Amino acid sequence: MATLVPENHPVLHAIAEEVTQKEIENGFVDKLIKDMKKALKSYSVDGFTAVAIAAPQIGVSKRVFIIEDQSNDRDALPSFAAINPQIIKTSKKTHIVGEGCLSLPEMYGEVKRHKNVTMRALDENGNVFERGAGGLLAQIIQHENNHLDGILFIDIAEKVYSKEEMKKRGLSEAKG
């Protein structure tokens, strides 16, 4: 089973490679997505829920992420895979949001994100789709795209907290 790689793994700090049409057709992407779903579902750190994962987080340098909300305590986010995603539009309005990451289970931060984004990507079958998003979904899309560019949230965070500081402050958040 695919597992999360440690924060110092080189693939987490490199620009991921584009997925080819051949990799979609020959089943590589299907297997990758299954592995990512297993890793996402296996994530368990008290008080935190996994919502998304990018291929680099399991050590695969490919431009793929999935969103599959594991939470039961809010309206579920839509589930989908994004292959070779590009953010093609961002709102001018930004805000500071709390963020965690599967790759940094002991950290939490405050990150400046666009309130709304539009993304263009391929689905699992290689078909192009566009999706607009606001709020938490827009934040997750930006976070996962950062992973594909070798950027961790702590690289761009305005403030970073340890898990102990988070408990003292009563913070909890979805992780991707």
Q: Considering 23, 68, 144, 173, which one is annotated as catalytic?
A: 144
Which residues fall within 8 angstroms of residue 32, CB to CB, at 6 or more apart?
55, 60, 62, 64
123 vs 121: CA distance, rounded Å: 7
| Contact present, 139 and 153 (Cβ < 8 Å) | no
How is residue 77 annotated by DSSP?
P
Residue 84, phi-psi category: left (phi > 0), alpha (psi -120 to 50), beta (remainder): left
Neighbours of 18 (CB within 10 A): 12
| Contact present, 118 and 88 (Cβ < 8 Å) | yes
170 vs 96: CA distance, rounded Å: 18
Burial class (CB in 10 A: 0-12, 13-18, 19+), 131: middle
Active site residue 144: yes
- Which residues participate in catalysis according to the annotation? 144
